[in-house]
Amino acid sequence: MRSFVEAPYPVKLSGWALFKGEPGALEPNAGVLPYDVATPLFSDFAEKYRTVWVPPGSPARYHATETFDFPVGTVLSKTFMYPRGPRTGAPEGSAGNGDRSRRLVETRLLVHAKEGWVSLPYVWDEDGKDATLGLVGTTVPVEWKDARGEVRTLAYEVPNANQCLGCHEHDKRMTPIGLKARHLNKPFAYEPGGENQLARMVRAGVLDRAPADSPHSAVWNQPASGTLEQRARAYLDANCGHCHSPHGPAASTALDLRATADTPRKLGVCKPPVAAGRGSGSTLLYDIVPGKPEESILVYRLKSTDPGVMMPEVGRTLVHEEGVELLSEWVRQMKGSCKD
Ligand code: HEC
Ligand code: HEC
């Protein structure tokens, strides 16, 4: 593993030596720890493989609700890929096992440089052997088989380096999003044995401590992991909360979709939108109307693929039907009305 804290950054992903072994096998190098998050961000059905590396002897500082405080030199990576064969139902994050039957698309790095967090998107070469720094964004044709075995195709959109800030912004500065206690407090299938991720991070010197009462999020599509309410809130937290927070790019909407939001109004219940018009379907009055998903702007925008309407506004081109179903169900069982 090599870390760079100022420009020029390596033009090839291999310049960081994050991975060893066969090119493209994503086998983490010494000190590079894979992880995943309880409920991920929907990104057009791409599968993701994430790693964290901190300079030896400098663990991140734990925080109960915010992103952990990582030292300068930290390198975080997230690789997007499409399996070529049918999905096996293998847990997310278990991809680093040398499975060659997938199309690697991009590896995004967030590096804690001297000037603050820097975003470096690397786009994989067609042969899957290395990836090249591509700051301008591009589209990559991909193909995969969905859960029903149907072949689906897509012009996958690799964001440009400026778009990263559109989601990763906290009080106007770039920040990591997923490395929070509630997203990480779950088991991970390390090789050879599984372990709680926070505990492993402490043992590996990546994190300074992991209190026994650390919060944890539900898994949006696993009913055993939480109630409908908890899973819907986990979905909103992971897919919307980075923008819809008092510190994020959508702060002006006063809609707070983080797990920490503590009133129905902050979540949009009976809240009129800041801007009427297309984004509100022209006739809809509130972000959420209890019992009425079809009258709720939040559901309407989740269902849309119109660039002027859809939420999130970047990061997807397809509708996440399963996510729409979950949030519709959540709104449907809410009691009350907006008239009284
Ligand atoms: C649509 C919103 C969105 C955009 C655009 C986006 N990200 Fe992210 N990113 C997220 C979210 C949400 C997470 C945390 C959840 C996860 O890991 O899936 C994340 C996680 C990451 C991670 C893992 C560490 C962390 O922050 O949790 C890296 C590295 C990363 N993004 C890099 C980038 C780079 C580089 C770009 C621009 C090329 C970018 N991202 C664009 C939303 C976005
Ligand atoms: C990349 C940042 C970003 C992400 C991620 C995002 N939004 Fe938004 N959202 C915005 C911005 C900016 C606005 C205000 C402009 C507009 O209405 O289009 C907005 C407006 C809204 C509104 C209207 C709110 C109001 O009261 O005015 C709703 C509802 C909404 N978003 C729902 C969602 C949901 C649900 C998600 C997650 C599935 C989500 N958004 C994810 C940036 C984002």
Residues contacting 283, CB < 8 A, separation 6+: none
Q: State whether the Cα torsion 165-33-100-9 is positive or negative.
A: positive
For residue 93, the model assigns a pLDDT of: 44
CA of 285 to the centre of ligand 1 (A): 32
Number of other CB atoms surrounding residue 22 within 10 Å? 11
Among all bound ligands, the one having the nearest atom to the CA of 243 is: 2
Share of residues in the chain with pLDDT > 70 (%): 95
Query: How confident is the prediction for the chain on average, in pLDDT?
Result: 91
For residue 100, the model assigns a pLDDT of: 52
For residue 85, the model assigns a pLDDT of: 57
What is the residue with the minimal CA distance to atom 36 of ligand 2?
A: 240
| Domain boundaries defined on the chain | 1-216, 220-340
CA of 337 to the centre of ligand 1 (A): 36
The binding-site residues of ligand 2, defined as CB within 6 angstroms of any ligand atom, are 166-167, 239-240, 243-244, 249-250, 253, 255, 268, 271, 273-275, 279, 287, 297-298, 301-302, 311-314
**279, 309 Cβ separation under 8 angstroms:** yes
Q: Is 278 helix (H, G, I), strand (E, B) or coil?
A: helix
Q: Which residue has the higher pLDDT, 102 or 52?
A: 52
The answer, yes or no, to whether residue 94 has pLDDT greater than 60, is no
Number of other CB atoms surrounding residue 88 within 10 Å? 9
Report the alpha-carbon distance of residue 178 to residue 15 in Å, rounded: 25
Lowest mean pLDDT segment, chosen from 41-50, 254-263, 290-299, 321-330: 41-50
Q: What is the mean pLDDT of residues 277-295?
A: 90
Q: What is the mean pLDDT of residues 124-150?
A: 88
Share of residues in the chain with pLDDT > 90 (%): 74
Per-residue pLDDT tens digits for 49-89: 999 999 999 999 999 999 999 999 999 999 999 887 544 44
Among all bound ligands, the one having the nearest atom to the CA of 112 is: 1
Report the alpha-carbon distance of residue 144 to residue 103 in Å, rounded: 9
For residue 316, the model assigns a pLDDT of: 86
Ligand 2: nearest atom to the Cα of 327: 35
Burial label, 148 (beta-carbon count in 10 A; 0-12, 13-18, 19+): exposed
Per-residue pLDDT tens digits for 309-329: 999 888 888 899 999 999 999
Mutate which of 77, 78, 236 for ligand 1 pocket (most atoms within 8 A of beta carbon): 78
For residue 144, the model assigns a pLDDT of: 85
Q: Which residue has the higher pLDDT, 340 or 170?
A: 170
For residue 335, the model assigns a pLDDT of: 95
